[in-house]
Amino acid sequence: MTERISTPSRTKQIIEENGFYFKKNFGQNFLIDTNILNNIAESAGITKEDCVLEIGPGIGSLTQILAENAREVVAVEIDQTLIPILQQTLKGYTNIEILNQDILKADIDGLIQRKNGGKPIKVVANLPYYITTPILMDLLENGRAIDTITVMVQKEVAERMQASPKASEYGALSVAVQYYCDARLDMIVPPSCFMPRPKVASAVITLKVLPQRKVAPKDEALFFHLVKCAFGQRRKTLLNSLHNQGKLNLSKEALSSLITAFGWDERIRGEALGVHEFALLADAIYEKLHPEQIIGSK
């Protein structure tokens, strides 16, 4: 078996030999626990038939293991100083393509077409907190051909993704992720498994992208607009949030009637509604308004 990049001694050696400095603006923390890396690949269900898109490969610790399990790996790294290091650490592998790109600007659909004939790929990533939501929503909202997304994120973010209504962690991210996916928390990863050590625990979560949404609101943009309003001011009731922020051209009385028509208390908060309830409310508001008044209508 090829020497593991992920051991503490080997990681330290690679960093020192290349004069690499961690950049806070990229949220760089390299995994130094081979067991965790093996578990990530197992959680992602990588097989020799899979094309894998890895976001943020770092020095290639996880890339190495993915390549040994997948048909092909495309590793997208934004930090150009890591590209020659990746080319060095992964030089023995013929099924890896390294791209120096910002994933939010990359042509992911073109990559999927080129590498996998347009068939769904699997995504694996170690995402820093500041960019987690933008990357996930870019992957999910644009209808990309993706089977699963297995990501390492801050523990609290993973908990938010799979949180249920009324839970303290439940919010707009919870609704958005659960609208597009089934979420499964795979493991908690302590700070000691990284170099340098982050201040908080991390977690690996796998999102199974649904071929069909759990709900089909008549106006998807309106659905997400209601979700955004509902959690914009968590302490306010759903009624007040929609009336104050919604710009729905409906009186407070009309909104109250729509909410109570479902048997909900007028004082209900957005955090009590699940994906299906938000869809019911969105459709009720859609039917109440003329199409040209609906936010995001086409």
Give the CA count within 13 Å in the CB-facing half-sphere of 20.
Answer: 26
Residues written for the chain = 298
pLDDT value at position 25? 80
List, for residues 2-52, the tens digit of each pLDDT value. Answer: 789 999 999 999 999 999 999 888 889 999 999 999 999 999 999 999 999
Is residue 188's pLDDT more than 50? yes
Superfamily of domain 220-293: rRNA adenine dimethylase, C-terminal domain (1.10.8.100)
Is residue 293's pLDDT more than 80? no
Distance of alpha carbon 199 from alpha carbon 152, whole angstroms: 15
Distance of alpha carbon 82 from alpha carbon 101, whole angstroms: 12
List, for residues 107-154, the tens digit of each pLDDT value. Answer: 999 999 999 999 999 999 998 888 999 999 999 999 999 999 999 999
pLDDT value at position 70? 98
User: What value does the mean pLDDT of the chain take?
Assistant: 94
pLDDT value at position 236? 93
> What is the mean predicted confidence (pLDDT) over 98-114?
97
Give the CA count within 13 Å in the CB-facing half-sphere of 133.
Answer: 11
In sequence order, what DSSP letters do the residues of 245-258 get, joined into one string?
H---S--HHHHHHH
Task: Judge whether 283 and 217 are in contact, CB under 8 Å.
Answer: yes
pLDDT value at position 298? 43
Is residue 203's pLDDT more than 70? yes
How many separate helices (H) and strands (E) can be counted in the chain?
12, 9
Task: Judge whether 30 and 194 are in contact, CB under 8 Å.
Answer: yes
In the chain, where are the structural domains located? 8-209, 220-293
Which carries the bigger pLDDT value, residue 138 or residue 233? Answer: 138
Is residue 297's pLDDT more than 70? no
Task: Judge whether 255 and 239 are in contact, CB under 8 Å.
Answer: yes
Distance of alpha carbon 169 from alpha carbon 184, whole angstroms: 15
220-232 vs 238-245: helix axis angle to the nearest 10? 110
Ramachandran bin of 138, using left for φ above 0, alpha for ψ from -120 to 50, beta for the remaining angles: alpha
**202 DSSP β-pair partners:** 154, 189
Distance of alpha carbon 169 from alpha carbon 185, whole angstroms: 14
Which carries the bigger pLDDT value, residue 26 or residue 218? Answer: 218
CA 157 to chain centre: 9
Name, in order, each residue with C-beta under 8 angstroms of 19's C-beta and a sequence gap of 6 or more.
Answer: none
Helix (H) / strand (E) containing 290: none
List, for residues 43-81, the tens digit of each pLDDT value. Answer: 999 999 999 999 999 999 999 999 999 999 999 999 999
> What is the mean predicted confidence (pLDDT) over 251-269?
96
Query: Which residue type, as a one-letter code, is found at position 18?
Result: N
Q: Are strands 146-154 and 202-209 parallel, antiparallel or unpaired?
A: antiparallel
| Domain 8-209: CATH architecture, name and number where available | 3-Layer(aba) Sandwich (3.40)
252-260 vs 275-288: helix axis angle to the nearest 10? 130
pLDDT value at position 56? 95
In sequence order, what DSSP letters do the residues of 63-79 get, joined into one string?
HHHHHHHSSEEEEEES-
Is residue 1's pLDDT more than 60? no
Enter the DSSP assignment of 154: E
Burial of 126 (0-12, 13-18, 19+ CB in 10 A): buried
Name the band, by pLDDT with cuts 50, 70 and 90, for residue 295.
low
Ramachandran bin of 145, using left for φ above 0, alpha for ψ from -120 to 50, beta for the remaining angles: beta
Query: Which residue type, as a one-letter code, is found at position 148?
Result: T
Task: Judge whether 153 and 132 are in contact, CB under 8 Å.
Answer: yes
pLDDT value at position 17? 96
Task: Judge whether 219 and 293 are in contact, CB under 8 Å.
Answer: no
Distance of alpha carbon 106 from alpha carbon 193, whole angstroms: 30
